[in-house]
Structure 1
Amino acid sequence: MIKNQRTVLTTVGGLALAATLVGCSGGGAPVEVDLGSGPAVAGTVKEGALEGVTLTLASWGGLFQEGQVEAASVPFAKESGATMLDDGPTEYSKVKAQVESKQVTWDIVDSDIIWADMQCGDDGLLMDLDTTIVDTSNIPEGLVGDCYVPAMQYGYVIMYNKDAYTTAPTGWADFFDTDKFPGKRSIAGFEDIGPGVYEGALLAEGVAPDELYPLDMDRVYKKLDGLRDHLIYWKTGAESQQMIESGDADMALVWSGRGFGAVENGANYAPIWDQSLVVADALSVPKNAKNPDAAFAYINYYLGAEQQAKLSEITSYSPVHKDSKPNLTELGQDYLITNPEIADVMVPTDAAWWSANYDTELNRWLDWIQG
């Protein structure tokens, strides 16, 4: 979903955060850099290669960005010699203004993956991904675009109230079956659209995961019409978590970090991982960035197994390096979507389809939700 503001997730394991380097501008004059020879290896950078370079990471603020700084920016600065600043929250209008004025101060941007996909190509705001600098070989299939890599990944998952049902619901068909499983359903209700209940409606109808796209939205809305009277809506991640903790929703479709946070706080809810949806944020480099090679070198470092593990330990998001093994609490492990028993039953989502159909489907969604 294209979001201009992110509500930050709860920590896993209660790790303390290091002090962060904060700034509001970056870039500086272009600097010629030597990143070394040989193929790129995620999580590495040539020692001292970026002396004299200043880079700014723009992200969503709060704990997530603090985690990015501690896990990637601080050690990257130490190894490469670069000066790392961070700014935010990400605003797409600011990215556009910087690119069009050729005054780019955000060298690396964390964004929604659908927005990023919309910005690839000649008419977009983002540079093509330089795979001679960025090693994508360890990233799960489907998460790398022409102009971005995933910043992290998480699940869009149904949480159900264990006290409400003697027989536990097991999937999307039960989410839509209010006779067998009565009660309120909570879903996102903000003025945005992307993977979520739409895929869920088709999965409830028995559509195979590998046949979801292109989404049959007429069929989706017919299914949603039958659920309308049982829906309540959340507009922020914090609100979605509160609806679980208060018991307002017997089932809630939420970002997995919010489900984790609610259970960690004592809510007697459980996730339904079968056919939950894989979602990710994106990292990219804006066009007209002054030191794009250095910016891509940062992204390559960020994608390392060690860096991704530490980011997961701090933020509860799941890593995007296949060999990353974060040290989490038992509950944290239960919400780590890279665990094979979870990963094997999840359904990938198609950012390219959503980016191509975003405007049309947003208008339809707004008409429906206000109807």
Structure 2
Amino acid sequence: MRTHRFLTLITASTLLLAACGVGGDSGDSGSANKLTWASTGGQFQEDEKTALQVPFTTKTGTVFTNISPAEQSQVKTMVAAGKTIWDLANMSWIYAGAYCGELFEKLDDPALDRSKFPPGTTGDCFVPTYRYANVFSYNADLFPGAKPTSIKDFFDTKNFPGKRVVYDYPKAGLFEAALVADGVPPDQVYPLDLDRAFKKIDTIKSSLVFAASYGQIQQMLVDKQAAMVITVTARTIVSAQSGANLVPVWDFNTTDIGALVIPKGAPHKALAQQMLAFVTEPAQSVAYAKLTGTAPSRPDIDLNTVGYSDIQKKFNAFLPDRGKTIEQDKQWWIANTDALTKRWTSWKVG
């Protein structure tokens, strides 16, 4: 079954305008080497420019045109119209897995050696460009006495009262956390027992806040409107830097990957694959990890060479002695995201 049919449709004319460069910044359009890069915008796209694009330009002379935001619906429209303009897009690997060969190019450059990456983190149309975790942490200012010490405490509102904020998307780490808190051994979490997970999440439903954006999560934590959170590494770091007195709980967390994917019909596919290989090389991986607090995509890169700040180290799930982590099962999520999202939406209002 194809996933993500739930995506909101936007008019083709609007999407094509966006795809052609609305919201972007361009270099010399006459350059022989050109790549159009679509991403999230904001500081993270600036970090991509600094750590990844500038060194590649220095090495190859490639000129980048930056577009934001990178939306799956725009890829669908461009491919359907036969007018793909983007070469690389920073978006969920789920899309690339669900529509591999249909809306996204298969990666066939020998330099993209999948044996370099952790097991379970690659697909025919994606390789990881960085790694992160869905980190469970609490606001220490709201727990002057007993402190949460395990993932079970996220679901214990009697001993640890307060709102729990999560990103409003099923793949944000909550379902795996619910199962482990309910007694499932971490290495037996997949395939997800959704009935059991929903039953566990039901026990704290009245204390859950479903955030529409990572910015909302950050604001709730800084304003002490939420006592606990499960959210991505980078947003946890930014929230702490903004004043939230967060303490991570290294009992159980899920890990995941970020990916740059190539839309079907990309005008510079070969060069885009060269860029993907370049991004995962140690120098660029380390530079990007240092800026963002994420982890390099390849396990052969020593995290001690990154030069993380103290606050980045505090929330880095890939350092030693950080409890049990499991990689989110890529094939399970590719196959089940659409059905689970529908169930999740219905459950929230039920």
When the two structures are superposed, what TM-score results if normalisation uses the length of structure 2? Answer: 0.86
Considering only aligned residues, what root-mean-square deviation do their CA atoms show, in Å? 2.4
By percentage of residues, which structure has more helix?
2
Following TM superposition, by how much is the alpha carbon of 1:215 offset from its aligned partner in structure 2, in angstroms?
A: 0.7
In the alignment, which of 153, 162, 165 is matched to residue 183 of structure 1? Answer: 162
Counterpart for residue 21 of structure 2: none
Following TM superposition, by how much is the alpha carbon of 1:93 offset from its aligned partner in structure 2, in angstroms?
A: 1.6
How far apart, in 2, do the equivalents of 1:246 and 1:64 lie?
23
In the alignment, which of 114, 119, 135 is matched to residue 157 of structure 1? Answer: 135
Counterpart for residue 308 of structure 2: 328
How far apart, in 1, do the equivalents of 2:226 and 2:61 lie?
50
Partners of 2:186 and 2:324 within 8 A in 1: no
Following TM superposition, by how much is the alpha carbon of 1:24 offset from its aligned partner in structure 2, in angstroms?
A: 8.9
When the two structures are superposed, what TM-score results if normalisation uses the length of structure 1? Answer: 0.82
Q: Given residue 263 of structure 2, which amino acid in structure 1 is its aligned partner?
A: P
Counterpart for residue 45 of structure 1: none
Q: Which moved further from structure 2: 164-173 or 196-205?
A: 164-173
Counterpart for residue 138 of structure 1: 116
- What is the DSSP-based 3-state SS (H/G/I as helix, E as strand, rest coil) of the residue aligned with 1:346? strand
How far apart, in 2, do the equivalents of 1:291 and 1:231 lie?
45
Partners of 1:63 and 1:315 within 8 A in 2: no
Partners of 1:259 and 1:271 within 8 A in 2: no
**5+ long unaligned stretches in structure 2:** 8-23
Counterpart for residue 152 of structure 2: 173
Q: Given residue 130 of structure 2, which amino acid in structure 1 is its aligned partner?
A: M
Q: Given residue 164 of structure 1, which amino acid in structure 2 is its aligned partner?
A: L
How far apart, in 2, do the equivalents of 1:188 and 1:70 lie?
28
Alignment pair present for 1:225 and 2:205:
no
The 3 A distance-change label for structure 1 pair 25 and 363 is farther
How far apart, in 2, do the equivalents of 1:363 and 1:262 lie?
30
In the alignment, which of 194, 210, 214 is matched to residue 237 of structure 1? Answer: 214
In the alignment, which of 46, 50, 55 is matched to residue 66 of structure 1? Answer: 46
Following TM superposition, by how much is the alpha carbon of 1:195 offset from its aligned partner in structure 2, in angstroms?
A: 4.1
Counterpart for residue 32 of structure 1: none
Following TM superposition, by how much is the alpha carbon of 1:188 offset from its aligned partner in structure 2, in angstroms?
A: 2.1
Alignment pair present for 1:94 and 2:46:
no
The 3 A distance-change label for structure 1 pair 25 and 170 is farther
How far apart, in 1, do the equivalents of 2:248 and 2:313 lie?
13
Q: Given residue 62 of structure 1, which amino acid in structure 2 is its aligned partner?
A: G
- Post-superposition Cα deviations, 1:275-312, rounded to whole Å, max 9, x if no partner, equal 11112222111221223211100100011111111112
Following TM superposition, by how much is the alpha carbon of 1:131 offset from its aligned partner in structure 2, in angstroms?
A: 4.4
How far apart, in 1, do the equivalents of 2:206 and 2:172 lie?
22
The 3 A distance-change label for structure 1 pair 293 and 133 is farther
Counterpart for residue 350 of structure 1: 329
Partners of 1:25 and 1:87 within 8 A in 2: no
Alignment pair present for 1:315 and 2:315:
no
Partners of 1:24 and 1:87 within 8 A in 2: no
How far apart, in 2, do the equivalents of 1:136 and 1:305 lie?
15
In the alignment, which of 330, 334, 345 is matched to residue 366 of structure 1? Answer: 345
- Post-superposition Cα deviations, 1:24-54, rounded to whole Å, max 9, x if no partner, equal 998x9xxxxxxxxxxxxxxxxxxxxxx8221
How far apart, in 1, do the equivalents of 2:78 and 2:28 lie?
11
The 3 A distance-change label for structure 1 pair 167 and 308 is same
- What is the DSSP-based 3-state SS (H/G/I as helix, E as strand, rest coil) of the residue aligned with 1:340? coil
How far apart, in 1, do the equivalents of 2:72 and 2:115 lie?
28
Alignment pair present for 1:280 and 2:280:
no
- Post-superposition Cα deviations, 1:238-278, rounded to whole Å, max 9, x if no partner, equal 11111111111111122222222222233222011321111
The 3 A distance-change label for structure 1 pair 25 and 232 is farther
- What is the DSSP-based 3-state SS (H/G/I as helix, E as strand, rest coil) of the residue aligned with 1:194? coil
Q: Given residue 366 of structure 1, which amino acid in structure 2 is its aligned partner?
A: T
- Give aligned pairs, total: 327
Following TM superposition, by how much is the alpha carbon of 1:222 offset from its aligned partner in structure 2, in angstroms?
A: 1.0
Alignment pair present for 1:203 and 2:180:
yes
Runs of 4+ in 1 over 4 A off after TM superposition: 1-4
How far apart, in 2, do the equivalents of 1:115 and 1:211 lie?
25
Q: Given residue 250 of structure 2, which amino acid in structure 1 is its aligned partner?
A: W
How far apart, in 2, do the equivalents of 1:242 and 1:200 lie?
23
Partners of 1:76 and 1:298 within 8 A in 2: yes
The 3 A distance-change label for structure 1 pair 225 and 25 is farther
Counterpart for residue 234 of structure 2: 257
Counterpart for residue 291 of structure 1: 268
- Post-superposition Cα deviations, 1:312-360, rounded to whole Å, max 9, x if no partner, equal 2222332213215322211222223332333x62221112211211121
How far apart, in 2, do the equivalents of 1:309 and 1:22 lie?
26
- What is the DSSP-based 3-state SS (H/G/I as helix, E as strand, rest coil) of the residue aligned with 2:116? coil
The 5 A counterparts of 1:30-45 are none
Counterpart for residue 114 of structure 1: 94
- Post-superposition Cα deviations, 1:118-140, rounded to whole Å, max 9, x if no partner, equal 122x4x31111224132344322
Partners of 1:58 and 1:88 within 8 A in 2: yes
Partners of 1:107 and 1:295 within 8 A in 2: yes
Partners of 2:27 and 2:63 within 8 A in 1: no
Following TM superposition, by how much is the alpha carbon of 1:173 offset from its aligned partner in structure 2, in angstroms?
A: 1.1
Partners of 1:25 and 1:106 within 8 A in 2: no
